[in-house]
Amino acid sequence: MLRLTLTTFFTLALLLCGSAARMAAQGDTKITVKDGGSILLRADGLDSGAKWKVFHNELRHLRPTGVLSALQVTEAGADRCGGDPKCAIDPSQPWTIQVNYGASSVTIASISANNGLHVKFSRHMPFSQWQKTGNPDERGFGHGDGLHITGIAVNNGPNLCAGKDGCEIDLTYTAQ
């Protein structure tokens, strides 16, 4: 019978993964922005305080060594990225995703080159005005205001959302 002590297990984990810091820094952060009675933002770890720094009109990811690993834009359940898992974003280059909601907007972008992540809110909808939902990682803005997402542009490209029926972005950011 093979018996592993906690020390032996930790030593094996360090050998396999490189270091304790590397083990802690790996993982995915998922961000969803979607339409439906209001605009909804869901960002993994938002209220845990471990991944995000909150400003008046910006969220900044605290692990700036990650990269965009997946992006999906849908409208009425239809893939607006044509099957491209990164929706024409080259993760090795700076990128932006602009989401228009009424006269306001949310911009999701890399911080520097392809590293880091921030979510910026227009002055008409600062983060402090987003209301908590039942999920601690979600916030909603404009509940019942009748507005919808009217535009989604990736790297200033064409509008991927006609604003007709439930536009949604699902982004995966992988910390390295």
Residue-by-residue DSSP string for the chain: -----HHHHHHHHHHHHS-HHHHHH-EEEEEEEEESSSEEEEETTTTTSSSEEE-SSEEEES-TT-EEEEEEEEETTEETTTT-TTTT--TTS--EEEEEETTEEEEEE-SBTTB--EEEE-TTS-GGGPEE-SSTTEEEESTTS---EEEEEETT------SSS-EEEEEEEEE-
Q: What is the pLDDT of residue 4?
A: 37
Q: What is the pLDDT of residue 63?
A: 78
Q: What is the pLDDT of residue 165?
A: 72
Which residue type does 176 have? Q
Q: What is the pLDDT of residue 176?
A: 72
Do the Cβ atoms of 111 and 60 come closer than 8 Å? yes
**pLDDT in single tens digits along all 176 residues of the chain:** 334 333 333 333 333 333 333 333 358 999 999 997 789 999 999 988 778 888 889 998 887 778 889 999 999 889 999 999 999 898 888 899 999 998 899 999 988 766 688 999 999 899 999 999 999 999 999 988 888 899 999 999 999 998 877 899 999 998 87
Do the Cβ atoms of 65 and 176 come closer than 8 Å? yes
Q: What is the pLDDT of residue 131?
A: 93
CA distance 112 to 132: 29
Q: What is the pLDDT of residue 1?
A: 39
Do the Cβ atoms of 173 and 67 come closer than 8 Å? yes
Q: What is the pLDDT of residue 175?
A: 80
Strand-pairing partners, residue 61, are 52
Which tokens in the block code for residue 171? Answer: 């982004």
